[in-house]
Amino acid sequence: SQQGEEDPQALSIQEGENATMNCSYKTSINNLQWYRQNSGRGLVHLILIRSNEREKHSGRLRVTLDTSKKSSSLLITASRAADTASYFCATDMNYGGSQGNLIFGKGTKLSVKP
């Protein structure tokens, strides 16, 4: 079953614009992570935000987390054609210390046009 649900499912923007993707989840979490996947290849880890953090930055990426609303957003600023990819949020189940079970959303397909 899906824990995270990304919104929108697809997003098309022009180079230089900002892209915002949202993720909602159902149960309490320890962390929430964002991954990028280029055209059916492996996933690249972008950023991890812990449940006690509200905002985190990494280069052109800004992630927010609202545990009261069980939601997160990923903002990519000044997008480039190379940012074209699918973006997934992933949450762990809040049990024990093992993260072996990452639960992924269905992803947002971002297309950045030059």
Residues in touch with other proteins (CB under 8 A): 2, 30-31, 33, 35, 40-45, 48, 50, 88, 90, 92, 97-107
Pairing of β 10-14 and β 108-113? parallel
Which of 13/102 has CB closer to other proteins?
102
Which of 21/43 has CB closer to other proteins?
43
Which of 60/106 has CB closer to other proteins?
106
CB of 16 to other proteins, least distance (A): 29
Q: In 3D, which of 107, 113, 105, 103 has the Cα closest to residue 9?
A: 107
Which of 45/113 has CB closer to other proteins?
45
- Which token pair is 26? 């159902």
CB of 18 to other proteins, least distance (A): 25
CB of 14 to other proteins, least distance (A): 27
CB of 35 to other proteins, least distance (A): 8
